[in-house]
Amino acid sequence: MFKKLFGMKETTETPAEETFLAPLSGRVTELSEVPDPTFSQKMMGDGLAIVPSEGEVVSPVDGEIVQFFHTKHAIGIRSLSGAEILIHVGLETVSMNGEGFEGHVKEGDKVKAGDKLITFNIDLIKEKAADIITPIVITNGENVESLNKKSMAEAVKGQTELFHLTMKN
């Protein structure tokens, strides 16, 4: 309050630690199991993958939509701690040009954990793309101090803890 009175800027503390919830319901697997070297060799970053059991992606954290591909197959979110997460629905789904995908947010939107981001047609992806497996990757890993992946076989979107991370100061 005094800072406002005297024209000083208030600083907002960003959390150094954060828990990411599963953005999809389905079977959880390691990135090494993703049949695409970009993800399996962690070229884009570390994380996990989910073989979805239903066609809905929700936000894994509170944050902001920083990238939403025009084909609606992938979305980037910056969490409150500054972690940047990419959710890439299926493999080679960019070639579908948005067919079977519906976006529910846009770049710049603020989101809360559990907010609906994308809905998609699983059967159409199985028919037209390479795979339905969905990598969830922290793309700015150089700023992450620790990434603790939770061990589980199945995840429920917006409820199951997928990983806990600590950002560098």
Domain spanning 25-167: which superfamily?
Answer: Glucose Permease (Domain IIA) (2.70.70.10)
Q: What is the pLDDT of residues 103-115, one digit of tens each?
A: 999 999 999 999 9
CA distance 161 to 48: 12
- pLDDT of amino acid 13: 61
- pLDDT of amino acid 156: 97
- Cβ-Cβ contacts under 8 Å for 142 (sequence gap 6 or more): none
CA distance 111 to 95: 27
CA distance 157 to 60: 8
CA distance 97 to 102: 11
Q: What is the pLDDT of residues 133-157, one digit of tens each?
A: 999 999 999 999 999 998 889 999 9
The rounded mean pLDDT for the chain is 92
Neighbours of 91 (CB within 10 A): 21
Question: Where in the sequence numbering do the catalytic residues fall?
Answer: 88
Per-domain residue ranges of the chain:
25-167
